[in-house]
């Protein structure tokens, strides 16, 4: 079980294939909001569910590859 308190602002988020997905802006409920100023974000906040997180060390590692994560993330309002 992932403990959301381990996820902090500005942590890099990596896909299962080791590619950069974004940087954490903050955790809101059961989702991570990615920073909109990151290159991957193209100026928009994106939300990814905590269920996608495989493990956390100094980075957040997802259980999806980058292409799948980008297809499935949602835009924050």
For residue range 24-77, list pLDDT tens digits in order.
Answer: 999 999 999 999 988 777 788 999 999 999 999 999 999 999 999 999 999 886
What is residue 46's DSSP assignment?
E
- Residues near 29 by Cβ (< 8 Å), separated by ≥ 6? none
Which of 58, 51, 45, 52 lies closest to 7, judged by CA?
58
Give the whole-angstrom CA distance, residue 23 versus residue 20.
8
Which pLDDT belongs to residue 44? Answer: 87
Which pLDDT belongs to residue 77? Answer: 67
Gyration radius of the chain over CA positions:
11
Domains belonging to the chain, first-starting first, are 4-75 (2.30.30.240)
Which pLDDT belongs to residue 76? Answer: 81
The average pLDDT across 4-22 equals 96
The number of residues in the chain equals: 77
Question: pTM to 2 decimals?
Answer: 0.92
Give the whole-angstrom CA distance, residue 53 versus residue 72.
14
């Amino acid at each position: 079980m992932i403990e959301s308190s381990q996820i902090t602002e500005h942590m890099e988020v990596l896909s299962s294939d080791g590619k950069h997905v974004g940087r954490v802006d903050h955790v809101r409920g059961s989702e991570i909001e990615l920073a909109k100023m990151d290159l991957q974000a193209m100026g928009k906040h994106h939300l990814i569910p905590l269920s996608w997180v495989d493990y956390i060390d100094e980075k957040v590692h997802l259980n999806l590859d980058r292409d799948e994560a980008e297809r499935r993330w949602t835009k924050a309002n």
